[in-house]
Structure 1
């Protein structure tokens, strides 16, 4: 279980992130802070970071910034993992956060699907790091670093909607491997429409397409979520 500290000065944002994390396996909220000073104290006053593995850190707060928090904890030699969560898009702020070792930088507002993807990437990275021992091969190093990379989004073809794409994605993740017919029946859409979304996900590298054998006639494609 990955224990998470939430840091944000907005109560509704804290509630939203808490509810999002509750929907993702392997994460547990163990603390919440509404300011920079409280965050520094929460991270540094638990020897050694007892109960805190990951911090979801806001960048702008009334009594300081996420940069201030990171500078303080890094200066004390603390290497807690951090994902920045902010509406700040300033390139210099992003660069400084990256130089202080943030694992991800999530720009508000974002959908649950984006949030889940980044947290699952972090979970995969953490698992690979824990599994590694001794001298790593080049392939193991590439896999470890690649776990935190986000593929560039593929533009939606004309006629496809982001909302329906998220529904189809969720269906594959939950029920996969699925065929277009199976997804269409569950989601209340036509088989042709479901297949277009599934093929788009395959093109984007989000699902793996393979033939399904076992029934007479032409084999049907099935789609399995990657990762």
Structure 2
């Protein structure tokens, strides 16, 4: 499970974000803060600090900004990732947040689908980062940089998300060959949904289909990374 710290000075916003996180498999809220100082304390010295992997960080709070929080935790080399969640859109703030190594910048208001897609994108980055060991190749470095940033999904068929596609791709690449049922079980999605992503990858030439023969009946299709 990926442990999430929620930081926002609005109680209703904390409640909304908590409900959103609880709907995304593999993520859990481990702490909540309503101010900048409390957030720094939670990340650096609280008993929950070792459980915090990801911070969903508001940018405007009465006792400080999200940028203040980022500066403090980066100065102390805190091993957490941050997604900025804010209605602030000015370019200077965005540049500062990016320079302080935030994983993403999510502008309010947004739908649950957008929120879930960003968390899935972050999960794909985290899984790829953990699977890359030793001396990274240029392609692995490029993949890590791409996974960290939200991918454009305009070219995907309707109903497919870039983040989920990245997860399915990674599952087949590292654990394949997989059937649609196996991919769905591994990723917490339905067999039908997993098959849609696998078929898209096959149509794009990134995986190849092959029949898998069992004890009887019709063969099952398995997908292998090319």
Same fold (TM over 0.5): yes
2:14 equivalent in structure 1: 14
Q: How does 1:6-155 map to 2 (within 5 A)?
A: 6-46=6-46, 49-152=49-152, 154=154
1:185 equivalent in structure 2: none
Corresponding residue pairs, total: 179
1:176 and 2:193 correspond? yes
Report the Cα distance in structure 1 between the residues aligned to 2:194 and 2:99, rounded to whole angstroms: 40
Structure 1 residues 41 and 26: CA distance shift in structure 2, 3 A: same
- Write out per-residue CA displacement over residues 80-122 of structure 1, whole angstroms, 9 at most, x where no aligned residue: 2100000000100110011111000000001111111111111
- Write out per-residue CA displacement over residues 23-70 of structure 1, whole angstroms, 9 at most, x where no aligned residue: 111111000001001101101104793111110000001111001111
- Write out per-residue CA displacement over residues 180-220 of structure 1, whole angstroms, 9 at most, x where no aligned residue: xxxxxxxxxxxxxxxxxxxxxx9xxxx5574x9xxxxxxxx
The unaligned stretches of length 5 or more in structure 1 are: 156-164, 180-201, 213-227
Question: Do the aligned partners of 2:31 and 2:48 also contact (CA within 8 Å) in 1?
Answer: no
Give the SS at the match of 1:18: helix
Give the SS at the match of 1:50: helix
Report the Cα distance in structure 2 between the residues aligned to 1:78 and 1:36, rounded to whole angstroms: 15
Report the Cα distance in structure 2 between the residues aligned to 1:177 and 1:66, rounded to whole angstroms: 37
TM-score, with normalisation over the residues of structure 2? 0.69
Report the Cα distance in structure 1 between the residues aligned to 2:160 and 2:83, rounded to whole angstroms: 24
Report the Cα distance in structure 2 between the residues aligned to 1:6 and 1:98, rounded to whole angstroms: 19
Structure 1 residues 169 and 70: CA distance shift in structure 2, 3 A: same
TM-score, with normalisation over the residues of structure 1? 0.69
2:213 equivalent in structure 1: none
Structure 1 residues 153 and 127: CA distance shift in structure 2, 3 A: closer
Report the Cα distance in structure 2 between the residues aligned to 1:55 and 1:148, rounded to whole angstroms: 15
Report the Cα distance in structure 2 between the residues aligned to 1:34 and 1:47, rounded to whole angstroms: 17
Give the SS at the match of 1:147: helix
Structure 1 residues 133 and 153: CA distance shift in structure 2, 3 A: closer
Report the Cα distance in structure 1 between the residues aligned to 2:86 and 2:8, rounded to whole angstroms: 9
Report the Cα distance in structure 2 between the residues aligned to 1:8 and 1:48, rounded to whole angstroms: 18
Give the SS at the match of 2:106: strand
